[in-house]
Amino acid sequence: MKFSIIASTFIALAAGASGVSARKSEVLSRDEHEALGVVWMGNATERSSHEDLQDPVGGYPDAFSWCDKDGVNYCTPSLNQHIPQYCGSCWAHGSVSALGDRIKIARNASGVDIALSVQHILNCAGVGSCHGGTVPGPYQWLHEISEKTGTGLAYFSENPYLACSSESEEGFCADNDWSCSDANVAATASPSGGAVGLKRYPNATISDYGSISGRNAMQKEIYNRGPIACGIDASPIEDYTGGIAKGGFFPMVDHVISVVGWGTDPNEGGYWIVRNSWGEAWGEFGYVRVKFGHLAIEQQCAWAVPEDFSAPERDNLVHCTEGGVCEDKNGKLPTNVMVLQGSLKRKNERLSQKEVESLGHVWRGNATERSSHEDLPVPEGGFPASFSWKEKNLVTLSLNQHIPQYCGSCWAHGTTQSLADRIKIARNGKGPDVQLSVQHMLNCGNAGSCHGGDPGAAFAWIKNISDTTGSGIAYTTNKPYLACSEDSKNDYKDSICRNADFTCNALNTARTCGTFGEECVGINRYPNATVADYGSIQGVAALQKEIYNRGPIACGIDAGPVLNYTGGIFQHESKASDIDHSISVVGWGEEDGVSYWEMRNSWGEYWGENGYARIAFGSLAIEEMCNWAVPGVFTAPELDNQYPCYEDGSNCN
């Protein structure tokens, strides 16, 4: 009896210390694992390949991180499982982030980062849901479909995260379908609004996976092959704002994260470098340092080895039209695709001069009377025949404006992507990429909507709020893209937009969602990026001067002729009056005597050359209407300017 009383008291104290009683576990029990067909602490093979990995001669270094290995960042961007509504999908985020990093390692950090689809796992894997999942389950499922079908996990640009699974009741989840249909695996949306499932799509497969536990096994796996997914007791870190996390008398795994490396603190000793999935507003820019042996972090870990993945250097790209008609395995489009595409009247996604001025913006405006662009130098001997920020590995993720439903927000994508590229350039490619929120601009920027907008007005809006509030455009991890604006809610009957609010308020600027049953909250201190200067240019010489000196730019094009583009240098004469779409230009090149612009579109990686196109100088009116912006202040770890928010946002609202 005496022992029972002492034990009960001790457990109660432990629960109070770690907050166990208040937190719903997002990791299923062993019985629940096995009921789903997931092998507890399973491996792909009877003898795990992990056993054959070698420890370094002389032991492991005191510090090692894939986010800064020999000065190179191999970590993919941070994510947020909690928005647009709460979803307990940490188990999918941890595995996807670690696998994305390993693909980046396999590519030697070259090329545009590949972002994998968490939503594909939620829709199809059957190893968990928004109410919890399994640590090795995502890798077991992915290994099975990789072997059976030769096709693996879809990319984010054809299946973005919406924080829903089939049983979810939160937010807009209950009103929509989350079954494993073609449209819920990989899709785009046509101008009519409906999702179109892609028959072929960019994807990643794995060749091996396994489970490990213990410090030595974790270090060996991370050091040799890359980041891993691990379970953790998250209760003690809900309100973490920095430092070395410890705690809990009886730590219980209730959450999954990814471990990217380790370090040594002079006072606390060794710690793990952990990437969470609660957004960049939390912790140390989305990361936490966990003391060795604490928070149950060394009990349940999983790893996977990438096999194949769609990438330009592998010459295995999938090519589909803007409308989602894909080439067959022989590289041929259906013979009627030109007729099908040509029969659709394309909506103009650019505002007219009159519409821009009615919003209070200057047509083709500049931030200053004399544009700073005029003072940029031309290199001695002229510009090189070829120059690309993509080839310098200084461009950010490719995106898709068309999903989860069609939205004419190209103008917002072109501006945010070129600005994010310039932030990456300013950081010299260090640290995980910053992604800027298109949805914040759709909700609050008086520069357009899903029915069209203006890139110059978009930059002017960011500059205005930068000057008047000191804060700029939010990061995507606090306001993800939903392809909705307040005026597009009733455009399509099956749209997720229809029952939601997209007015400009705190919740629609930057948000987090604490847990099930709690209201999402708007946070008033959030990672953001300001603009110090902006302007408009036109003509080959001006475009080259701006791109060469300061980075990618946003430009208008006549998009009709490239709806079915699948590769090569494209030539088509268009007039300025034909411009109906916005893109970003990241550089230029020359092939067989033809000079071309390297153009990034916002139609997903299945379109064109992995989301890019080569447009001949003088084609599609691409040089007629272009805009640029200079980053001001932006939130980043190296600038020590983050205000860390709790998981539930209670200290930031």
**Residue range 509-532: mean pLDDT, rounded:** 93
**Residue range 505-534: mean pLDDT, rounded:** 94
* pLDDT in the model for residue 345: 60
**Residue range 159-168: mean pLDDT, rounded:** 96
| Token pair for 237 | 């870190």
Q: Give the pLDDT confidence of 589-632 residue by residue, as tens digits.
A: 999 999 999 999 999 999 999 999 999 999 999 999 999 999 99
Q: Tell me, which fold does domain 319-346+383-634 have in CATH?
A: Cathepsin B; Chain A (3.90.70)
Unique residue bearing structure tokens 């927000």: 409
Three-state secondary structure call for residue 269: strand
Q: How confident is the model at residue 22 (pLDDT cuts 50, 70, 90)?
A: low
Three-state secondary structure call for residue 163: coil
User: 76-80, 191-195, 256-260: which range is least confident on average?
Assistant: 191-195
* pLDDT in the model for residue 337: 65
Query: Is 80 one of the annotated active-site residues of the chain?
Result: no
Q: How confident is the model at residue 494 (pLDDT cuts 50, 70, 90)?
A: confident
Structural domain boundaries of the chain? 13-308, 319-346+383-634
Which residues lie closer than 8 Å to 283 by C-beta, 6 or more apart? 237, 240, 241, 242, 276, 644
* pLDDT in the model for residue 39: 97
Residues of the chain with pLDDT > 70, as a percent, come to 95
The crossing angle, in degrees rounded to 10, of helices 90-106 and 137-149 is 60
pLDDT above 70 (res 502) = yes
The runs of H, that is alpha helices, within 193-303 are 215-225
Catalytic residue among 410, 520, 555, 652: 410
The closest of 201, 198, 190 to 323, measured between CA atoms, is 190
Contacts within 8 Å (CB) and 24+ apart, 272-275: 272/218, 272/297, 273/65, 273/67, 274/230, 274/232, 275/75, 275/78, 275/97, 275/227
* pLDDT in the model for residue 338: 52
CA 27, CA 137: separation in Å to the nearest integer?
A: 11
Neighbours of 469 (CB within 10 A): 10
DSSP code of 156? Answer: G
* pLDDT in the model for residue 15: 39
pLDDT above 50 (res 646) = yes
Three-state secondary structure call for residue 273: strand
* pLDDT in the model for residue 400: 97
Contacts within 8 Å (CB) and 24+ apart, 54-62: 54/220, 54/224, 55/216, 55/220, 56/223, 60/219, 60/223, 62/263, 62/264, 62/270
pTM summary value = 0.95
| Token pair for 130 | 């928004």
**Residue range 578-596: mean pLDDT, rounded:** 98
* pLDDT in the model for residue 509: 98
Amino acid identity of 149? T
CA 320, CA 197: separation in Å to the nearest integer?
A: 11
Three-state secondary structure call for residue 123: helix
More confident residue, 235 or 16: 235
| Token pair for 586 | 């990241």
Question: Cα–Cα distances in Å, from 415 out to 302, 348, 554, 583?
Answer: 38, 17, 6, 8
pLDDT above 60 (res 638) = yes
DSSP characters over 301-358:
EEEEEEEEE--GGGT----B-TTS-B--TTS---TTHHHHHHTSPPPP-B--HHHHHH
Q: How confident is the model at residue 484 (pLDDT cuts 50, 70, 90)?
A: very high
User: 124-138, 318-332, 553-567: which range is least confident on average?
Assistant: 318-332
Catalytic residue among 82, 120, 361, 581: 581
Q: Tell me, which fold does domain 13-308 have in CATH?
A: Cathepsin B; Chain A (3.90.70)
**Residue range 197-224: mean pLDDT, rounded:** 97
More confident residue, 433 or 494: 433
**Residue range 323-327: mean pLDDT, rounded:** 91
CA 285, CA 291: separation in Å to the nearest integer?
A: 18
| Token pair for 260 | 């990217």
CA 457, CA 451: separation in Å to the nearest integer?
A: 15
Q: Give the pLDDT confidence of 185-200 residue by residue, as tens digits.
A: 999 987 776 789 999 9
Query: Is 410 one of the annotated active-site residues of the chain?
Result: yes
Q: How confident is the model at residue 10 (pLDDT cuts 50, 70, 90)?
A: very low
Q: Give the pLDDT confidence of 521-539 residue by residue, as tens digits.
A: 999 999 999 999 999 999 9
The closest of 197, 174, 175 to 186, measured between CA atoms, is 197
- The helix or strand, by DSSP H or E, that contains position 13, with its residue range, turns out to be helix 2-18
Question: Cα–Cα distances in Å, from 76 out to 112, 152, 317, 464?
Answer: 10, 19, 21, 31
CA 646, CA 437: separation in Å to the nearest integer?
A: 21
* pLDDT in the model for residue 457: 98
**Residue range 257-282: mean pLDDT, rounded:** 98
* pLDDT in the model for residue 12: 34
Q: Give the pLDDT confidence of 334-378 residue by residue, as tens digits.
A: 877 654 444 446 789 999 999 999 999 999 999 999 999 999 999
Cis omega (within 30 of 0) on the bond before 404?
yes
Amino acid identity of 602? S
DSSP code of 9? Answer: H
Give the angle subtended at the CA of 583 by the CAs of 437 and 477, to the nearest 5°.
Answer: 15
* pLDDT in the model for residue 20: 42
**Residue range 134-155: mean pLDDT, rounded:** 97
Query: Is 581 one of the annotated active-site residues of the chain?
Result: yes
Q: Which neighbouring-strand residues pair with 474?
A: 528
Q: Give the pLDDT confidence of 366-410 residue by residue, as tens digits.
A: 999 999 999 999 999 999 999 999 999 999 999 999 999 999 999
The answer to whether 442 and 457 have CB atoms below 8 angstroms apart is no
The runs of H, that is alpha helices, within 125-269 are 137-149, 215-225
Mean of all residue pLDDT scores within the chain: 93
The answer to whether 13-308 and 319-346+383-634 have equal CATH topology is yes
pLDDT above 50 (res 13) = no
* pLDDT in the model for residue 191: 76
**Residue range 457-480: mean pLDDT, rounded:** 98
DSSP code of 452? Answer: E
* pLDDT in the model for residue 653: 85
DSSP characters over 495-560:
-TTTTS--SSSGGGTSEEE-STTSPEEE-SS--EEEEEEEEEE-SHHHHHHHHHHH--EEEEE--G
Segments of 386-510 assigned E as strands: 387-388, 448-449, 452-453, 473-474
Unique residue bearing structure tokens 């084609």: 619
* pLDDT in the model for residue 328: 87
* pLDDT in the model for residue 545: 98
* pLDDT in the model for residue 14: 39
The crossing angle, in degrees rounded to 10, of helices 410-426 and 455-469 is 60
